[in-house]
C-alpha cells in the first residue's frame, strides 16, 4: 500500500470515528430520529402490570410479547414521544385497551390492569351454606341479614354531603385512599390522600367517572382500582383509570340482583329472587 493510500485510509477511518462517536453517544442517551418531527428526540417507555399474568400486549396493533409468568409485568422501551394504543389480551378474558402518551426520558405506567373473565359461571349456593356466609371483608362469618349493611362514611367524612349533596352510596376503597360514590346514575371518586401512582391525584380531588341512563346500585370495590356495581339487572365491573376511556365490562345479568363481593375467596354472591348464587373465582 502506497503512502498516499495509507493517508487516505487513515483520513477515512478518522472521519468515520468522528462521525460515529456522537451518534453512539446520542443513541446511548436515548435519542432517536423522529421522522414525523424530522429531528432527534429522546425516547420513553411503557411499564405495565397485568392480572392475570402471561397476557399478550399490543402497541398500535403490533404484538410486543407477553407479560412475565409470575409477576405479570412488561417493560417496553425505545418509544418516541407520541400517543400509542395499548391493548392487552388473554384467552377467556375481556381485553383491555387504552391510548397512553409517552414522554421523553419518562416511563408511562399502567400498574393495575385487571382482565375480567368472560362468561363466569354462577351456581346456586347450597341451603346448608346459607345460614352463615363470609362477611364482605372475608375475615369473619356473620348472619345473612347483616351482609348488606353499608358502612356509614358520612359521619367520618362530613364533607361528602357538601361535595356530593345527593349521593346514594359511598364505599371506602381497600387501600383507604379514596371513596367511590354513586350519585343517581353517576359514578364519582373522592380522594382522601394523595395518589402518587399514575395517573396521580391530589388529596381532596373529585373525579367524575361515568354516567348511565339508569341509577347505580350495589356499589363495591372489586380491587383497589376497579369498581363493581349494578346498572339495572346488569352486573358491571369498571376500572377507575380515567386516562383515555374507561375499560368497563358487563359481567352477567340477573333479575333485581343484590351483590356481596368476597375478596378473600375472590367470588361474588348474587341474591336474585329466592336464590343465592355464587360465582367461580373472578381473580387469580
**What is the per-residue pLDDT across 56-107, written as a single tens digit (0 to 9) for each?**
999 999 999 999 999 999 999 999 999 999 999 999 999 999 999 999 999 9
Percent share of the chain, pLDDT over 70: 78
Residue 3 has pLDDT above 70, yes or no: no
Number of other CB atoms surrounding residue 263 within 10 Å: 17
Task: Confirm if 267 and 251 have CB atoms less than 8 A apart.
Answer: no
Q: Which residues contact 38 (CB under 8 A, 6 or more apart)?
A: none
What is the Cα–Cα distance from 210 to 236, expressed in whole angstroms?
12
The pLDDT assigned to 126 comes to: 82
Cell readout for 153 is: 362514611
Q: How far is residue 272 from each of residues 118, 121, 122, measured CA to CA in Å?
A: 21, 15, 12
For residues 85 and 129, the model is more confident at 85
HEC sequence for the chain: CCHHHHHHHHHHHHHHHHHHHHHHHHHHCCEEEECCCCEEEECEEEEEEEECCCCEEEECCEEEEECCCCCCEEEEEEECCEEEEEEEECCCECCEEEEEEECCCCEEEEEEEECCECCCCEEECCHHHCCEEECCCCCCEEEHHHCCCCCCCCCCCCHHHHHCCCCCEEEECCCCCEEEEEECCEEEEEECCCECCCCCECCCCEEEEEECCCCEEEEEEEECCEEEEEECCEEEEEECCCCCCCCEEEEEECCCCEEEEECCCCEEEEEECCEEEEECCCCC
Out of 28-32, 33-37, 203-207, 233-237, which region has the weakest mean confidence (pLDDT)? 28-32
Grid cell digits, residue 271: 341474591
What pLDDT does 11 receive? Answer: 59
Kindly report whether the peptide bond that precedes residue 199 is cis, defined as omega within 30 degrees of 0.
yes
What is the rounded distance in angstroms from the CA atom of residue 97 to the CA atom of residue 115?
10
Give the C-alpha separation, 58 to 159, whole Å: 43
Residue pLDDT, tens place only, 205-223: 999 999 999 999 999 999 9
Which residues make beta-bridge pairs with 238?
A: 227, 248
pLDDT of residue 280 exceeding 80, the answer is yes
Q: Quote the pTM value.
A: 0.83
Bigger pLDDT: 41 or 37?
41
Amino acid at each position: 500500500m502506497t503512502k498516499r493510500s495509507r493517508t487516505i485510509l487513515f483520513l477515512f477511518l478518522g472521519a468515520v470515528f468522528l462521525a460515529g462517536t456522537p451518534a453512539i453517544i446520542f443513541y446511548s442517551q436515548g435519542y432517536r430520529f423522529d421522522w414525523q418531527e424530522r429531528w432527534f428526540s429522546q425516547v420513553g417507555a411503557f411499564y405495565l402490570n397485568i392480572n392475570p399474568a402471561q397476557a399478550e400486549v399490543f402497541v398500535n396493533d403490533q404484538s410486543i410479547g407477553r407479560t412475565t409468568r409470575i409477576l405479570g409485568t412488561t417493560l417496553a422501551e425505545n418509544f418516541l414521544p407520541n400517543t400509542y394504543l395499548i391493548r392487552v389480551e388473554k384467552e377467556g378474558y375481556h381485553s383491555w385497551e387504552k391510548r397512553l402518551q409517552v414522554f421523553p426520558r419518562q416511563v408511562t405506567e399502567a400498574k393495575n390492569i385487571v382482565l375480567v373473565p368472560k362468561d363466569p359461571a354462577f351456581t346456586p349456593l347450597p341451603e346448608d351454606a346459607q345460614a352463615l356466609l363470609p362477611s364482605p371483608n372475608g375475615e369473619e362469618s356473620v348472619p345473612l341479614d347483616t351482609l348488606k349493611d353499608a358502612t356509614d362514611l358520612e359521619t367520618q367524612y362530613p364533607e361528602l354531603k357538601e361535595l356530593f349533596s345527593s349521593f346514594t352510596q359511598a364505599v371506602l376503597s381497600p387501600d383507604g385512599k379514596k371513596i367511590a360514590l354513586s350519585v343517581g346514575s353517576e359514578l364519582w371518586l373522592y380522594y382522601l390522600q394523595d395518589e402518587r401512582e399514575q395517573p396521580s391525584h391530589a388529596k381532596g380531588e373529585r373525579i367524575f367517572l361515568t354516567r348511565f341512563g339508569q341509577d347505580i346500585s350495589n356499589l363495591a370495590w372489586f380491587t383497589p382500582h376497579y369498581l363493581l356495581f349494578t346498572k339495572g339487572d346488569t352486573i358491571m365491573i369498571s376500572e377507575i383509570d380515567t386516562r383515555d376511556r374507561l375499560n368497563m365490562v358487563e359481567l352477567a345479568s340477573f333479575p333485581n340482583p343484590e351483590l356481596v363481593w368476597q375478596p378473600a375467596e375472590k367470588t361474588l354472591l348474587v341474591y336474585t329472587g329466592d336464590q343465592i348464587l355464587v360465582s367461580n373465582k373472578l381473580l387469580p
